[in-house]
């Protein structure tokens, strides 16, 4: 069975600082994709960043970047220059060959002004 | 471009009533997913369709739940009869169903069963 684990229920960061959210996963497939979704209080699910497992280069989207360690099955999200609007629940997700998404339990990010 | 459209946004009904949630996927997307989000269980996949055909309904909790996709632009999730434990946010998502193309989510329906 495929699993996604987010071990940090809640994280806090000072505005303008950097924070890293952890995610580990388990899958027997060699070809898969990883995603981070953001869910603000409005409850929308917003795609933040994605990573193809076959690519060694870590994905980057503006202030958001990932540290993808395939051998360790680790996929952490780094948010640089944190902004108040970054406050939300963040979900790590794994997509396998069936295109199904398996989500972690989420990390609530608080941003202190 | 219009995103995934779900209706209603909120639904409050009494136990035992039939509930129907609706979803319009993004045009051109051939995969559609229904998820349920609760505090206890997080985000769970209930069922997904590919080209209007149900592919995996192993996440549907009970026979009280049913989902249909009569055409490429419309899907429903029905609960009959509803129970208080069905209270949750229900999301619909769609994707092109290719490679790394992510799923795009609707705004969800918050369902409260009294």
Distance CA B65, CA A56 (A): 42
Q: Is the pLDDT of residue A8 over 70?
A: yes
Q: Does A44 touch chain B (CB under 8 A)?
A: yes
Q: Which of the residue ranges A106-110, B29-33, B87-91 would you say has the lowest mean pLDDT? A: B29-33
Q: Do B100 and A50 touch (CB under 8 A)?
A: yes
Task: Indicate if the pLDDT at residue A97 is higher than 90.
Answer: no
- Tell me the C-alpha distance between A54 and A63, whole Å: 23
- Structure confidence by residue, pLDDT tens digits, B12-64: 999 999 999 999 999 999 999 999 999 999 999 999 999 999 999 999 988 99
CB contact under 8 A, B56 and A47: no
Compute the nearest-CA separation of A112 from chain B (Å): 24
**A105–B42 CB contact, under 8 Å:** yes
For the cut 80, the answer to whether the pLDDT of residue B100 exceeds it is no
The region that residue B77 occupies, defined by phi over 0 for left and psi between -120 and 50 for alpha, beta otherwise, is beta
Pairing of strands A3-5, A60-61: unpaired
Quick one: average pLDDT of A59-65?
95
Q: How far apart are CA B66 and CA B20, in angstroms?
A: 10
Q: Over the stretch A14-33, which tens digit does the pLDDT of each residue have? A: 999 999 999 999 999 888 99
What pLDDT does B21 receive? 98
């Amino acid at each position: 069975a495929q699993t996604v684990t987010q071990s940090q229920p809640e994280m806090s960061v000072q505005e303008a600082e950097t924070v890293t959210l952890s995610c580990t996963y388990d899958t027997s497939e060699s070809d898969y994709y990883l995603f981070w979704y953001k869910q603000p209080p409005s409850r929308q699910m917003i795609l933040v960043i994605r990573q193809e497992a076959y690519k060694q280069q870590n994905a980057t989207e503006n202030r958001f970047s990932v540290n993808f360690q395939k051998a360790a099955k680790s996929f952490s999200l780094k948010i640089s220059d944190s902004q108040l609007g970054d406050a939300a629940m963040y979900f790590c997700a794994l997509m396998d060959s069936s295109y199904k998404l398996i989500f972690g339990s989420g990390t609530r990010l608080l941003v202190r002004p | 471009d219009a995103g995934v459209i779900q209706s209603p946004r909120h639904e409050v009904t009494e136990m035992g009533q039939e509930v129907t949630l609706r979803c319009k996927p993004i045009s051109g997307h051939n995969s559609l997913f229904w998820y349920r989000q609760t505090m206890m269980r997080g985000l769970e996949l209930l069922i997904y369709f590919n080209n209007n055909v149900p592919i995996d309904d192993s996440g549907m909790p009970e026979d009280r739940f049913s989902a249909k996709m009569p055409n490429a632009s419309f899907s429903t999730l029905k609960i009959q009869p509803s129970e208080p434990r069905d209270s949750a946010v229900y999301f619909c998502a769609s994707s092109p169903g290719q490679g790394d193309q992510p799923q795009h989510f609707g705004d969800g329906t918050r369902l409260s069963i009294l």
